[in-house]
Amino acid sequence: MTKRSIFYSAYVLIVALMIGIYPVDISAMNVIQQANQMLKDGQSLSALNQFSTIIYNYPEKKYLYQRIGEAAYLAGEKELAKHYLEMAKDSKDLDGAGLMILGDIYQQSGNWKEAIIVWKKIELDQRNVNDVSNRLLNVFVSQSMWSDAERVLTSQPGKFPGDIELSERLGWIELFINPGKARKIFNDLSPVKDISYLNVINLIDKYSTKKGDALKEGNWWLEVGDLAVKYDQTDIALKAYEKSTEVDGKFAVGWMKIVLLKQTLQMDVETEIELAEKFRENDSLANAMLAEYWYIEKKPELSVIYLHKALEIDPKSQYSSLRLSQILSEIGNINEGLKYIKLSAVKLNSANSWKGVIIYCLENGIYIKDEALPAMRKAISLEPDSPEILDLAGQVFIALKDDVTAERYFMQAITKDKSFYLAQLHIGSLYARIGSIEGARSHLTIAAQQNEDLTIRDQANKILSTIQSE
């Protein structure tokens, strides 16, 4: 017998012995492969049914618990996923991917403490360090565990402090731990980012003068929240707004800031609304913010009630009178809306307040001669060099069908500020309408070539396209 024959015979014998000792169920293996492929192809429900059938017939195959859990999670069956992933964890068959999902399930059900424990069991490597760190960071921030959040950011191997985004995130978190350290981070970031953090730095510098005075400190935290929103740090903004109510539990505006942000994030606001209602009685701004909440909730009749209350507390609030007028106009009470916006203008007697009357009349196409024209004259007398008011004057005379006077005001607006592109658009539109094509092209081209206001640019291009053949 040749060596090759001896080797082959030994191989057959070994295989035969293995089959005898460990019988292989080829059909089960095929079904498992099919289920895995279904899961890979996004057919999570079909995969779940397939895996469930296998484990029912072969209960000893505990290594499939994680696969069933993954399929259940992707199919939206979170409780079932939790059951099997916990079984996989107990049998030591849960790897990093499974631990990640199990932690997600805990966190989504509000059991963030268990989520942290599970995520911390994952062995970090280059593939999952970001996923795990981000999950831990989000939980720590949501629970105001600032020192833990700081530790997560500063312990990422090979990334900190070179990563600009991580440094920025740390700066916001340090505001809750050490404002001085936050100031240094933002100061160092300003030269290396496309945006400046001067407004954040200036706000931090004011902290020492606000601390200790509940109202001032509460407002300081609101400013932090507003800046965080500006820089797309919504979770930090929410914690800053919450901090304002920790400083003063009766701070109605703070509660409303939380409400409006949570409303945007589609989060429950029942508790915060109750507290805002409780403490709003003498706060004009809180009532105005409640009006905005109900407006977004498509209940403008409630908005009107709260804005009336806001004006009762502060009759000179231009925002409340303007918003009330807008909402009244939307629900069909146009004359009632005009009454309030005009009342505000009479009380304030500022160019801006009279400008509100002009815009209201123009937008609603009412009382141009009786209300908009006198309001225009008062606004011009108060701010004769305002390009915006001069442009509005031109629009008033367009509505009065006096193109000559309208042209004069549009030209005055452009003379005051050539880059006031709305006036360029308006006079270009006027020239196009009356057939002065060269003048129209000249002004519309200026409006169309700027990048400050895309709406104006698009309108200018649209008119240009209609006159290009003339």
Least Cα distance to 348 among 320, 324, 384, 373 occurs for 320
Residue 413's CB: how many other CB atoms inside 10 A? 25
Please say if the pLDDT value at position 226 is more than 50.
yes
pTM of the model: 0.72
Please say if the pLDDT value at position 203 is more than 90.
yes
- pLDDT score of 307: 96
- Per residue in 38-56, pLDDT (tens digit) is 888 888 898 888 888 888 8
| Predicted confidence band of residue 10 (pLDDT cuts 50, 70, 90) | low
Please say if the pLDDT value at position 466 is more than 50.
yes
424 in Cβ contact with 416 (< 8 Å): no
- Per residue in 95-105, pLDDT (tens digit) is 999 999 999 99
CATH of 1-121, one of 1.25.40.10, 1.10.3660.10, 3.30.450.40, 3.30.420.40: 1.25.40.10
Mean pLDDT for the stretch of residues 85-89: 93
Distance CA(3)–CA(1), nearest Å, equals 7
Least Cα distance to 168 among 233, 242, 235, 239 occurs for 233
Rounded to the nearest angstrom, the gap between the alpha carbon of residue 372 and the centroid of all alpha carbons in its chain is 37
Residues 6+ apart with CB under 8 A from 156: 129, 133, 163, 166
Distance CA(28)–CA(59), nearest Å, equals 12
- pLDDT score of 192: 76
Rounded to the nearest angstrom, the gap between the alpha carbon of residue 391 and the centroid of all alpha carbons in its chain is 34
Mean pLDDT for the stretch of residues 268-282: 96
Mean pLDDT for the stretch of residues 22-43: 74
Could you state, in order of their start, the residue ranges of all structural domains in the chain? 1-121
- pLDDT score of 234: 96
Mean per-residue pLDDT over the chain, rounded: 90
Concatenate the DSSP letters of all residues of 405-430 into one string. Answer: HHHHHHHHHHHH-TT-HHHHHHHHHH
DSSP state of 458: H
- pLDDT score of 323: 92
Which tokens sit at 187? 């100061």
Please say if the pLDDT value at position 235 is more than 90.
yes
Which tokens sit at 309? 């209350």
| Predicted confidence band of residue 361 (pLDDT cuts 50, 70, 90) | very high
Please say if the pLDDT value at position 246 is more than 60.
yes
- Per residue in 160-175, pLDDT (tens digit) is 555 788 899 999 999 9
228 in Cβ contact with 217 (< 8 Å): no
Residue with the two structure tokens 């989060």: 267
Please say if the pLDDT value at position 16 is more than 70.
no
Distance CA(288)–CA(280), nearest Å, equals 10
Distance CA(90)–CA(106), nearest Å, equals 16
- Per residue in 140-197, pLDDT (tens digit) is 999 999 999 999 988 865 555 557 888 999 999 999 999 999 999 999 988 877 778 9
With 0-12 CB in 10 A as exposed, 13-18 as middle and 19+ as buried, what is 393? buried
